[in-house]
Structures are given as C-alpha cells and as structure tokens.
Amino acid sequence: MESKHRTTIKFLCSYGGKILPRSTDGELRYVGGHTRVLAVDPSISFSELMVKIGELCGSSVKLKCSLPNGDLETLISITSDEDLANIIEEYNRASSSLAHPLKIRAILSPPKSLKKVSPPPSSATSAGHSPTRSANSSTESLPYSMAYRFVRPVAYPVGVRNGSGKACCYTGGQFDGSPRYLYSRPRGNNFCH
C-alpha cells in the first residue's frame, strides 16, 4: 500500500439536508442541502479538518462518516485524531485495488452542544432562579435561535459578555474561559456585536 501513497484524500461532504428512505426500495439517501468535495492532505489533524469543513459549509458541525461501500444507516462519529485515522485507513484499505481512491462519505450536522449553553446549576439555584427561568431564557444571554442563525464562516469560539448580551468574537490569543461557545468568522480582531 505504501507504493500507492496518496497526496490528497477527498471527503464528499453533505450538509443542510436530511437522510430519508428512498420510496422505491427504502434505502437511505441524503436529500436536499448541499454536497461538496473537500480535498485535504492525508496527514491532516482532526481539528484542522474541522476548521476546513466549517469554512466549507459556513458553520460549526458534527462529522459522521459512512464506512466504505456502506450505506447511510451506519454512520461513524469522528471526534478525534484517532477516529479520523481509522476512517482514513478503512477507505485506504477499500481503495487499494481500485484505479481511483474512494471519496470519504461525510455527513455534516449542526452540533448539539449549542443547546448546552447555560450556567452551572449551583449558580442558578444560588441566585434564586427557577429552572424555567434560566440564563438560556434571559434577555441578557444570546438566545438559541440566534445561535442557530449564526452562519458566518466559522470555527472560532465566541463568548458572551456577562450581563451585556453582546457576542464577543474570539480570533486568537487568550480566551476568557467562559463555557458559552458559539462560532463566528475567522477574520478580524476581537469585537462585539
């Protein structure tokens, strides 16, 4: 396999649509949205890949891949360098006897972590807030609906200033340690909306 060393690997990335059964035979297909090819160096790290994928689709996403020659019923979550290396190895093995290497089938979906934007339970109870009146529903925090509408090209965490309700974009340097993360554009200085 070393004699067939690949200079790039290609991901066939689908996002913005849904996985639905085909009416004729019930086989799962990706319907709607966008599908684009992303070529990267085979030695890319998981974090570098996620930045490139975020730039491709314009937002932060979760990455799941189908196995080579597999269907969309079984998708493998890719969350680390090890997961990425394993899926690349599977595709290399499946492509070893082919004239052209297979593209890695990637399904991109919005991260569920945006729903976890909230203060620790101890601070909510000590401040006398009821569970129905958390920081998530406060007018001082960035609402979830706004977080999902944030569609600028990506992959840099953003914090919410305490009490200001303004989203502060982080483009490098020291982050304030806030557990509230969103994603924003990769250019420019730190700024607030």
Model pLDDT for residues 40-99, shown as the tens digit of each residue? 999 999 999 999 999 998 889 999 999 998 889 899 999 999 999 999 999 999 999 999
Query: Can you give the pTM of this predicted structure?
Result: 0.56
Angle between helices 46-57 and 81-95 (to 10 degrees): 80
Q: Which CATH number describes the domain made up of 2-110? A: 3.10.20.90
pLDDT at residue number 5:
60
At a CB cut-off of 8 Å and minimum separation 6, what does 6 contact? Answer: 42, 92, 101
What is the C-alpha separation between 19 and 36, in angstroms, rounded?
16
Q: Which of 51, 50, 76, 82 is nearest to 64 (CA)?
A: 76
Rounded to an integer, what is the distance from CA 97 to the centroid of its chain? 32
The structural domains of the chain, with segments of one domain joined by +, span 2-110, 115-192
pLDDT at residue number 33:
94
CA distances in angstroms from 70 to 4, 20, 30, 60, listed in the order given: 23, 16, 14, 25
Model pLDDT for residues 94-113, shown as the tens digit of each residue? 999 999 999 999 999 998 75
What are residue 144's phi and psi, to 5 degrees?
A: -60, -40
The answer to whether the beta carbons of residues 165 and 191 sit under 8 Å apart is no
